[in-house]
Amino acid sequence: MSGAGRVAVVTGGGSGLGRAAALALFADGWSLALAGRRRVTLEDTVAEAGADAGRALAVPTDISRPEQVTALFDAVREHFGRVDLLFNNAGAAVPRRPVAEVDLADWRRVMDTTVTGTFLCAREAFRVMREQSPRGGRIINNGAPSAHVPRPHAIAYTTAKHAVLGLTRALSLDGRPYDIACGQIDVGNVTPLDGSPQPPSAQADGSRAVEATIPVARFTESLLLMASMPLDANVQFLTVLPTTMPYLGRG
């Protein structure tokens, strides 16, 4: 089922996987609201959409701020009339450090964006999807392999992604009476989108190694599979990663 006539909200839509997701959804016929902190990067994504840009709405949003999230979904309803899909993609990156050296400000930044921001967007989407006609919709949370198995020196990121896993499960359960499906996509190493070489990653034995990557198309194909499902079916969890990436057994 294509996205023609359907409306998606993508957070973190100005760069990285958010931009890749947005462009893939545009190409599949979706109308999109793009959220992110910087208007200029959102508008760059819209420009890349080319002929599909007429189905775009760019809404600068800090998803850690509840009033801005409410304004985002108010704008989407006013412009498009409904919300069929939320891709909760936005997160925050901080330096990887041993736990004893983690700065509290970095911890809070990750939690405020990745956990609280994901919750706030899901809550607003849930409110819209529950009341609209036809009722229902889909929420896809961007998790990570670290939602299941941690990497060294990444305690804030790991904890946040474990929390997203809990949000996904709770939303799936609470959404059942309202035809709201919720799933999670966990993406492994993606080839750097800027063409730079893959940097070495810390391994559990203390070494560093350059790991295998997959092209971003493997991610967007997986996301579109999840988004295309009718609401009586759900991909609950989907992990896509390089076959040789040290995930199982990496601890």
Per-residue pLDDT band at 9 (split at 50, 70, 90): very high
In three-state form (DSSP H/G/I as H, E/B as E, the rest C), the secondary structure along the chain is CCCCCCEEEEECCCCHHHHHHHHHHHHCCCEEEEEECCHHHHHHHHHHCHHHHHHEEEEECCCCCHHHHHHHHHHHHHHHCCCCEEEECCCCCCCCCCHHHCCHHHHHHHHHHHHHHHHHHHHHHHHHHHHCCCCCEEEEEECCHHHCCCCCCCHHHHHHHHHHHHHHHHHHHHHHHHCEEEEEEEECCECCCCCCCCCCEECCCCCEECCCCECHHHHHHHHHHHHHCCCCCCCCEEEECCCCCCCCCCC
Q: Mean pLDDT across the stretch 224-246?
A: 96
pLDDT tens-place string over residues 182-226: 999 999 999 988 888 899 988 888 899 999 999 999 999 999 999
Q: Which are the catalytic amino acids?
A: 157
Architecture of domain 7-240: 3-Layer(aba) Sandwich (3.40)
Q: What's the Cα-to-Cα distance from 84 to each of 97, 137, 218, 234, rounded to whole Å?
A: 39, 5, 23, 14
pLDDT tens-place string over residues 146-170: 999 999 999 999 999 999 999 999 9
Distance CA 173, CA 186 (A): 20
- Quick check: 82 pLDDT over 90? yes
Q: Mean pLDDT across the stretch 72-86?
A: 98
pTM summary value = 0.95
Distance CA 122, CA 114 (A): 12
β-strand partners of 201: 209
Three-state SS at 236: coil
Q: Which single residue is written with the structure tokens 């988004």?
A: 227
Task: State the pLDDT at residue 251.
Answer: 52
Domain ranges of the chain: 7-240
